């Protein structure tokens, strides 16, 4: 896939944003393949997306880079996109695309699902910005799959179309959770007390770690502590709490199941990429985990999956790169 359409840059920098459930990253594309003035904000600090954008455009680095000259923008957001009005699932922000265009004098604003943008970044990731887990060899010009655990669970992919790629707009993280062993069956039973439909996201995500921890405490017949996601990860990674450690073990294996399902569904012989901050925070633990073994554990199709590589995305701001690629392709 080539990136040749940068005509918009003749009219000033392009404003890029990656809006998640807890934090937002902003940047300015000032030249082809160059994103400057990156700024990360806590979403809870700002009452609206517009307020966060005003704060970003007021940053000294943004002013120096010509942020107020931006007339073309792209926002990737952790949410389904359908029409002008956007209401976030995991945060209180809601906004009109047309109203944001008007407020910031934009000629064009493209708003897409964040995992669609993340998928669009995959062809542009440098070798040092991805780390392979297990075996397999990427097949050229083949479909690529994407799974990522952040606050929620995202699923997407890229389908080759001649010289271009088509990103899949998916909500696959909300597909029904499929347990693979007795431990996961017990986790599912526990989760069903609180949720009529237990999706993969309910368990295989940053938010889901808390639910898994509480389920495993009950299974181990120990009293759960009031721990948040970060505390569970910290205690599990440092082996300070057996149930927290087991929670991370279960998470890695369940993510392997999800990734294997996506690989089979898409026929992703171009590889499966793992994004999101949860895996990055446990990189060494994840590499030693049962993720890859579970990824390949598909009975008659285990050999099929053994040839598909899996990569952890290590680039810090891949969604901004993907948003840039989508604007250029459009």
Domain-located, residue 138: yes
Domain-located, residue 289: yes
Return the percentage of the chain with pLDDT > 70, whole number: 96
Q: Left (φ > 0), alpha (ψ -120 to 50) or beta: where does 12 sit?
A: left
Closest CA to 319 of 1, 126, 68, 78: 78
Q: Does pTM top 0.85 for this prediction?
A: yes
- Which CA distances in Å does 168 have to 62, 116, 147? 32, 6, 12
Q: What CATH number is attached to the domain comprising 59?
A: 3.30.420.40
Q: In the prediction, which pLDDT does 1 show?
A: 28
Query: 194 and 268 in one domain?
Result: yes
Domain-located, residue 2: no
Tens of pLDDT, residue by residue over 304-313, are: 999 999 999 9
Mean confidence (pLDDT) of the chain: 93
Please determine, for residue 216, whether its predicted confidence score (pLDDT) is greater than 60.
yes
Q: In the prediction, which pLDDT does 10 show?
A: 60
Please determine, for residue 75, whether its predicted confidence score (pLDDT) is greater than 90.
yes
Q: Is the dihedral of CA 278, 115, 57, 14 positive or negative?
A: positive
Q: In the prediction, which pLDDT does 151 show?
A: 83
Query: 302 and 154 in one domain?
Result: yes
Query: 301 and 173 in one domain?
Result: yes
Query: 303 and 321 in one domain?
Result: no
Q: Span 32-41, mean pLDDT?
A: 93
- 261, 255 contact by CB (below 8 A): no
pLDDT band, very low/low/confident/very high, at 113 (cuts 50, 70, 90): confident
Tens of pLDDT, residue by residue over 80-97, are: 888 899 988 778 899 999
Domains: count for the chain = 2
Q: Domain limits at 13?
A: 7-120+317-329
Q: What are phi and psi of 259, to 5 degrees?
A: -65, -40
CA atoms within 13 A on the CB side of 310: 26
Tens of pLDDT, residue by residue over 170-211, are: 889 999 999 999 999 999 999 999 999 999 999 999 999 999
Q: Is the dihedral of CA 30, 160, 201, 96 positive or negative?
A: positive
CB neighbour list of residue 272: distance below 8 Å, 6 or more residues apart: 144, 145, 146, 147, 259, 262, 263, 295, 308, 309, 310, 311
CB-based burial of residue 254 (10 Å sphere; 0-12 exposed, 13-18 middle, 19+ buried)? buried
CA–CA dist 201, 255 (Å, integer): 10
């Amino acid at each position: 896939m080539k990136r040749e359409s940068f005509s918009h840059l003749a009219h000033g920098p392009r404003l890029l944003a990656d809006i998640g459930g807890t934090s937002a990253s902003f940047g300015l594309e000032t030249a082809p393949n160059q994103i400057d003035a990156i700024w990360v904000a806590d979403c809870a600090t700002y009452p609206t997306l517009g307020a966060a954008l005003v704060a970003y455009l007021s940053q000294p680095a943004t002013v120096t880079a010509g942020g107020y000259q931006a007339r073309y923008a792209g926002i990737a957001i952790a949410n389904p996109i359908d029409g002008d009005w956007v209401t976030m699932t995991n945060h209180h922000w809601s906004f009109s695309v047309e109203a944001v265009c008007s407020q910031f004098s934009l000629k064009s604003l493209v708003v897409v699902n964040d995992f669609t943008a993340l998928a669009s970044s995959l062809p542009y990731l440098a070798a040092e910005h991805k780390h392979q887990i297990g075996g397999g060899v990427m097949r050229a010009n083949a479909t690529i799959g994407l799974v990522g655990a952040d606050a929620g669970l995202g699923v997407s992919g890229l389908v080759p179309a001649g010289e271009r790629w088509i990103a899949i707009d998916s909500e696959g993280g909300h597909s029904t959770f499929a347990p693979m062993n007795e431990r996961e069956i017990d986790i599912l039973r526990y989760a069903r007390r609180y949720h009529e439909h237990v999706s993969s996201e309910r368990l295989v995500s940053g938010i889901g770690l808390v639910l898994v921890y509480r389920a495993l405490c009950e299974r181990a017949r120990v009293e759960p502590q009031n721990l948040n996601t970060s505390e569970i990860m910290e205690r599990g990674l440092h082996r300070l709490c057996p149930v927290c450690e087991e929670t991370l073990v279960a998470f890695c294996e369940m993510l392997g199941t999800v990734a294997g399902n996506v690989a089979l569904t898409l026929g992703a012989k171009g590889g499966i990429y793992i994004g999101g901050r949860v895996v990055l925070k446990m990189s060494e633990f994840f590499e030693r985990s049962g993720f890859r073994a579970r990824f390949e554990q598909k009975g008659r199709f285990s050999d099929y999956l053994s040839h598909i590589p899996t990569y952890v995305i290590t680039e810090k701001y891949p969604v901004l790169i993907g948003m840039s690629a989508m604007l250029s392709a459009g």
